[in-house]
């Protein structure tokens, strides 16, 4: 039965191969597409190979591959040899000519509509992703990271934000809850459309053997409408281990009024993010502080 819904035929083997190759779960794919895990399982078993094109695009987006990479191979169809046409009378030829003209007009109209929506849909989406994080922290002490994403689009679009922490660093908490692999690779899928929003997490870094004291963070933002657009997360990307609290930006063993306000503005307003503002305020109320590496605490100088 014909419907107005665009359908595609996917390959179960390709879906399963991509999922296992990227260490993804059926639950992750089900969440990304908006279906059940049983549906993902049926797709992989080739029990329901035909699905909506919209779901196919979401599935490809979760793998970060083109839709064509998950489609089933096109079966070859043997075309029958055309039968010779009978001789046409003049009325029949006139009628045939009129039909051809009408068909050509329909094709031209369809082409105009197609190109209009194609070029309209291919407008470049304005994307930006900015990372805010301290320039330094104490080894093993938690510090906040906030990524502000902003993009303008003519229609609602989903996004995929990825953040890779360097070796020696791990995630303690994320807001909103991210999909975390190996405690150091975060993925957020957001389907709320265009606009401005924040993705945050708490992390800590420990010096590895060899005395490494500098760590680099990497992230990317993917948005897909009629075509894929991906950018790198900008902003601060490196943190250095030191004996100073992450809120002490000038590293003078004092958290002054301006540094305290910066903590509130940059990190304290993220709802649900467990930034230890109380610790920052305690240091701020003292005249100075110092890091006790043996007891792993900040000592306050009255």
pLDDT digits (tens, 9 = 90+) for 105-126: 777 777 655 655 554 545 556 7
Give the burial class of 142: count Cβ atoms within 10 A of its Cβ; 0-12 exposed, 13-18 middle, 19 or more buried.
middle
- Say if residue 48 is in the same domain as residue 154: no
Concatenated DSSP letters of 129-191: EEEE--SEE-TT--EEEEEEEEEE-SS---EEEEEEPPTTEEEEEEESPPEEETTTEEEEEE-
Neighbours of 117 (CB within 10 A): 11
Residue from 200, 147, 146, 197 nearest 173 by CA: 200
Per-residue model confidence as pLDDT tens digits over 121-177: 455 567 899 999 999 999 889 999 999 998 776 666 778 899 999 988 999 999 999
Same domain for 143 and 288: yes
Look up the CATH number of the domain holding residue 179.
2.60.40.3670
pLDDT in tens, 25-54: 999 999 999 999 999 999 999 988 888 999
Instruction: Report the percent of the chain where pLDDT is more than 90.
Output: 48
Is 57 in the same domain as 139?
Answer: no
Question: Is 257 within a domain?
Answer: yes
Same domain, 64 and 199: no
Q: Let me know the angle formed at the C-alpha of 141 by 138 and 145, rounded to the nearest 5 degrees.
A: 100
**Could you tell me if 25 and 137 lie in one domain?**
no
Strands 126-132 and 228-232, sheet pairing: unpaired
137 falls within a domain = yes
Model pLDDT for residues 66-104, shown as the tens digit of each residue: 999 999 886 533 344 444 455 555 555 566 677 778 777
Same domain assignment for residues 36 and 139: no
Asked whether residue 33 falls in the same domain as residue 142, the answer is no
Domain boundary among 70, 85, 112: 70
Looking at the structure of the chain, the number of domains it has is: 2
- Rounded to the nearest 5 percent, the helix, strand and coil shares of the chain are 30, 30, 40
Q: Is the peptide bond before 95 cis (omega within 30 degrees of 0)?
A: no
Do 133 and 65 sit in the same domain of this protein? no
Domain boundary among 48, 70, 92: 70
**Do 133 and 64 have their domain in common?**
no
CATH number of the domain at 48, please. 1.10.260.40
Strands 50-52 and 7-9: antiparallel
Q: Are residues 62 and 152 in the same domain?
A: no
* Residue 80 placed within a domain: no
Which residue, 246, 65, 55, is CA-closest to 140?
246
156 and 12 part of one domain:
no
- At residue 302 the predicted structure's pLDDT band, cuts being 50, 70 and 90, is confident
If asked whether residues 194 and 271 sit together in one domain, one would say yes
Any domain includes 1: no
Residue 212 included in any domain? yes
Where among 24, 50, 70 does a domain terminate? 70
Q: Is residue 162 part of a domain?
A: yes
In the 3-class helix/strand/coil scheme, how is 44-100 assigned residue by residue? HCCCCCEEEHHHHHHHHHHHCCCHHHHECCCCCCCCCCCCCCCCCCHHHHHHHHHHH
Strands 218-224 and 228-232: antiparallel
Contacts of 75 (CB under 8 A, 6+ apart): none
In a domain, 297, yes or no: yes
Under DSSP, the state recorded for 246 is T
Tell me the residue range of the domain where 20 lies.
7-70
């Amino acid at each position: 039965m014909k419907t107005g819904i665009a359908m595609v035929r996917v390959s179960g083997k390709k879906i399963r191969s991509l999922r296992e190759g990227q260490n993804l779960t059926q639950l992750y794919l089900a969440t990304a597409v908006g279906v059940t895990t049983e549906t993902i399982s049926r797709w992989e078993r080739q029990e329901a190979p035909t699905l909506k094109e919209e779901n196919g695009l979401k599935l490809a987006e979760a793998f970060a591959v083109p839709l064509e990479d998950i489609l089933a191979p096109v079966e070859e169809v043997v075309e029958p040899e055309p039968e010779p046409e009978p001789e046409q009378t003049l009325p029949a030829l006139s009628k045939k000519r009129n039909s051809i003209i009408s068909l050509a007009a329909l094709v031209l109209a369809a082409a105009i509509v197609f190109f209009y929506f194609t070029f309209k849909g291919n407008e470049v989406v304005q994307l930006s992703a900015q990372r805010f994080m301290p320039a330094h922290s104490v080894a093993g002490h938690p510090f906040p990271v906030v990524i502000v994403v902003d993009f303008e689009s003519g229609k609602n679009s989903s996004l995929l934000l990825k953040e890779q922490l360097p070796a020696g660093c791990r995630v303690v908490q994320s807001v909103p809850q991210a999909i975390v692999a190996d405690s150091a690779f975060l993925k957020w899928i957001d389907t709320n459309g265009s606009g401005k929003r924040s993705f945050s997490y708490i992390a800590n870094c420990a010096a590895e053997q060899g005395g490494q004291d500098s760590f680099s963070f990497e992230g990317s933002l993917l948005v897909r409408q009629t075509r894929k657009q991906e950018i790198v997360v900008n902003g601060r990307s490196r943190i250095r281990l030191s004996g100073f609290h992450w809120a002490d930006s000038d590293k003078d063993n004092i958290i002054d009024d301006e540094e305290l306000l910066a903590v509130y503005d940059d990190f304290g307003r993220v709802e649900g993010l467990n930034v230890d503002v109380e610790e920052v305020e305690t240091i701020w109320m003292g005249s100075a502080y110092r890091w006790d590496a043996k007891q792993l605490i900040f000592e306050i100088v009255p």
